[in-house]
Amino acid sequence: MRREEDHASIVRYRGAGKRPIRGQTSASPPPWSDWRVSLITEESVYDALSHLSDNAYLQGHALAELVSEPGRHRGDSLRALLLDALSNLRPPDTTPPDDPAWRPWQALWLRFVEQRAPAQVQDAMGLSERQVRREQSRGITAMVGILRDLTTAPAAVAGAELGPEGAFRRAANAFDVLPTELDAREVLEGVAGMVERRYQDHQAALLLPSHSHPIHADRVTLRQVLSRVLGHLAPQAEGDAVAVRIEARADEVAYRFSLRSGRRPAMDPSLLLECSYLAEINLGRVELGANSVLCAFPAHRPALLLLIDDEPAALQLLRRCVQGRSIRVIAVDDPADAVAEAAERRPDAIVLDVLMPGRDGWEVLQQLKSTPETRAIPVIVCSVWRDPDLALTLGAAQFIRKPITRPQLLEALVRVLPNADAEGSRPGWS
């Protein structure tokens, strides 16, 4: 059933001669790139978001033509594409919480990802029904533009990634990071040695701090971020210097890079995105400020959450749900490997899907609870079937009925992870 109450303007797209939502044949198709663009309309985006948790529906959706994966993976890939576009709509974390810039993203997230009723969205946002509709309409319009930017005709024809930024981000997300406790200054000194020749070529100095702090990150990706930032700043410090400070605040440790001249550093947008992607997989962030570049990473070991689910989009959704919290998510998509992976990784908690091919979640749960290395790990069972009693009887710590909503997941995590912050916070770096 359609939900015109959320996006009243959608009705104008229902008419003779318009492209059907779920595909179309044509004796004379338009040029390929024009045809792809024509698929991405406010109507098609709204319809796909309205069925975000319905994999069968998304597989046959017109927008599934934007992804190259065949068969049952088309629905997963379309869901991932929609979530990626929605992520691009989200304002930066530095945006004040009461800034109206949050409203379009919040209206879509609450309605379609958390699947709250319209009245609940109004209450959460503190807006009237008419205002929420307007913000949703603004968000849908923005999503159309974002999806058109994310989607490139040559990439889809070749079955490749959605542009260079998309390729880099997917590669970064697939990278198996190994976060450990590191000495922030020691890592910085190692990177400084790598870029020393570049600074000499520009007759620039690199001023390093004398103090240090422990930092928790993957050494390889951390070095990549630092070397990219330092290398990019060298030409800007021609004949002068780049100063680096190490700062600790709340649960983060940050490297702050500034030009001694006081000029604002410049960062190529693509480079800034790539550094941000590498930082994100370490639960860190990279930001360009008024007079410095900030690279912040966790000061302590984040909680490790293992997802056991055969749907690729589930990992991205789970990461979005815990964004802003000190929780790192890894995934196993083959239930046959789940127990061995859990025994090796020793996660702080496990999120377990029930309906999986080959071996269902109940079998995996029983094996987890009968294996000495994993029996003490709390398991949150997720299922489309309402059967919490069976889950708890077999040893689960919590039960969540699918589709997962952010409030449900965070509430369950607070119960199984003592240090999981239900609200989440970011230190305010100035």
Residues in the chain where the model's pLDDT stays below 70? 1-36, 68-73, 151-176, 418-430
CA dist., res. 64 & res. 74, Å (int): 6
User: Could you report the per-residue pLDDT of 346-385, keeping only the tens digit for each?
Assistant: 999 999 988 877 778 899 999 999 999 999 999 999 887 7
User: What does residue 350 show for φ and ψ, rounded to 5 degrees?
Assistant: -130, 135
Tokens of residue 63, six digits: 């927008």
CB 143 within 8 A of CB 83: no
pTM of the predicted model as reported, rounded to 2 decimal places: 0.56
CA dist., res. 415 & res. 186, Å (int): 37
Q: Which of 70, 82, 87, 83 is nearest to 156 (CA)?
A: 70
What pLDDT is attached to residue 162? 45
Query: What is the three-state SS of 108-166?
Result: HHHHHHCCCCHHHHHHHHCCCHHHHHHHHHHHHHHHHHHHHHHCCHHHHHCCCCCHHHH
CA dist., res. 279 & res. 177, Å (int): 11
Greatest extent of the chain over all pairs of C-alpha atoms, in Å: 71
Cα–Cα distances (Å) from 209 to 73, 188, 189, 279, in that order, read 49, 9, 10, 21
Under DSSP, the state recorded for 11 is G
What pLDDT is attached to residue 5? 38
DSSP three-state, residue 238: coil
What pLDDT is attached to residue 68? 61
CA dist., res. 320 & res. 112, Å (int): 13
| C-alpha dihedral (221, 223, 228, 232), degrees to nearest 10 | 160
CA dist., res. 395 & res. 187, Å (int): 43
10 Å Cβ neighbour count for 314?
Answer: 23
Q: Contacts from 65-70 at CB under 8 Å and sequence distance 24+?
A: 65/23, 65/36, 65/39, 66/36, 66/39, 66/40, 66/147, 66/151, 66/156, 67/156, 68/156, 68/159, 68/160
Burial grade of 271 (CB within 10 A; 0-12, 13-18, 19 or more): middle
CA dist., res. 249 & res. 26, Å (int): 60
Domains delineated in the chain: 8-160 (no CATH), 180-298 (3.30.565.10), 303-416 (3.40.50.2300)
What pLDDT is attached to residue 167? 58
User: Could you report the per-residue pLDDT of 236-264, keeping only the tens digit for each?
Assistant: 999 999 999 999 987 899 999 999 999 99
List of residues 6+ apart from 39 with CB closer than 8 A: 19, 62, 63, 65, 66
Cis omega (within 30 of 0) on the bond before 403?
yes
